[in-house]
Amino acid sequence: MFVVSFKSSSVKAALLGTLIVICAVAGVYVAGRSVEASVDSAKSGIDYSAADASQRIAFLSQFGWDVVADPVEVREIIIPAEFDKAYEEYSSMQKEHGLDLSDYCGKRAKRWTYEIKNYPGYEGSSLVQANLFVLDGRVIGGDICSLETNGFMHSFLYPKEKENKSPDGTTAT
């Protein structure tokens, strides 16, 4: 057993009180951020877990995507400490699915790239991919993109319109 004793003085009491307040504030802050993340996830109904392959694939399937199980690429990335115009636009796109890359400026993450098998107009093609930015087992950003020269990039949301560009450049309905 460990026993601490000290003489009661107003300075020591003030320091002890300050320490207790700091610990309480820190505890409330940490608990609040955890609850905030849970509430955001519950509101959107999206599970951002991505600690393993099955969770990453399940994340994409929430949006209707069917992907090849083995990633095309896994790479470490660094979210820029300051965003240029392109990253500002990219970060804006993330907000469509409840994510905000600006919360992760300067952080290292992993980018997992998967081939999408069911993009409308590209079925059976390997020209469309999903990129997931993962930090601490959680998706923090990403996109769906085409590898074509004049391709596209958009959020994880499945395209609603029936008209999409086919791999040969024509319009498919």
Q: What is the pLDDT along the chain (173 residues), one digit of tens a residue?
A: 656 555 556 555 544 445 454 544 444 444 444 334 433 444 468 999 999 999 999 999 999 999 999 999 999 999 999 999 999 999 999 988 889 999 999 999 999 999 999 999 998 889 999 999 999 999 999 999 999 999 999 999 998 753 444 444 444 43
pTM, rounded to two decimals: 0.68
Q: How far, in Å, CA of 166 to CA of 173, rounded?
A: 9
Of how many residues is the chain composed?
173
Contacts of 73 (CB under 8 A, 6+ apart): 111, 112, 113
Q: How far, in Å, CA of 47 to CA of 41, rounded?
A: 6
